Amino acid sequence: MTNKKFAVLMSIFFWAICFFFQGTPVSASSTQVLQVDATSYVVSSQWLPVGDEAGHVIGMQQREGEAVLSSGETAKYFTVSTFDSRRSKGGTSQGYSKFAFDDGSSIMFSWTAEISRNQEGLSTNQGEGSIIKGTGRFEGITGTSVFSGGQLKPASEDSRLTAIQNATITYTLP
């Protein structure tokens, strides 16, 4: 066999191997973890007494503020929620939160939380959520969040009821 025929045969063999034994494509996605501190204040809050016992209310609330992310970014923070709470016994809350970034991108969560009171009588909470949507550079994002936080000062000192939430977000981008 001449060198030229051998080279052609080896070339065909090489390309056949490449064609038949293609590897699994490498995914560019990987799981990321982000720490977030979101400070917010009440924009609107409405509640009604349930009537079964003193201090038992149901209601809804809207908050706005700013989120500081461990990536160094900041985002506008918006949340809307409903709650069912007993003054000194705690309760539950559920809602939706959104981080809106300067470039127009956003991340939207749904969440549930348990409400309680700390030793100073301030409202606290802890909960978990799921990412339900991302836009812009977060299109296709999936993930979860765990969080805790609470009111910083009594209503007598802060009528806007400023609160902070500390969250750990675990996510994947496509």
| Domains (range + CATH), the chain | 28-172 (2.40.350.10)
CB atoms within 10 A of CB 151: 20
Going by C-alpha positions, the residue among 84, 107, 111 that lies closest to residue 96 is 111
33 vs 119: CA distance, rounded Å: 31
Sort residue 143 into left (φ over 0), alpha (ψ -120 to 50) or beta: left
Q: Provide the 8-state DSSP code for 26.
A: P
* pLDDT at res. 89: 86
* pLDDT at res. 11: 46
- pTM exceeds cut of 0.95: no
| Residues with Cβ within 8 Å of residue 5, at least 6 apart in sequence | none
Taking the chain, what is the end-to-end CA distance rounded to the nearest angstrom?
51
| SS3 (DSSP) at 91 | strand
DSSP 117-151: E-TTS-EEEEEEEEEEEEEGGGTT-EEEEEEEEEE
| Residue pointed to by tokens 């802060």 | 158
CA atoms within a 13 Å half-sphere pointing along the CA-CB vector of 167: 28
pLDDT (tens, 9 = 90+) of the chain, 174 residues, equals: 554 444 444 444 444 444 444 443 444 579 999 999 999 999 999 999 999 999 999 999 999 999 999 999 999 999 999 999 998 789 999 999 999 999 999 999 999 999 999 999 899 999 999 999 999 999 999 999 999 999 999 999 999 999 999 999 999 999
56 vs 24: CA distance, rounded Å: 57
| Residues with Cβ within 8 Å of residue 155, at least 6 apart in sequence | 161
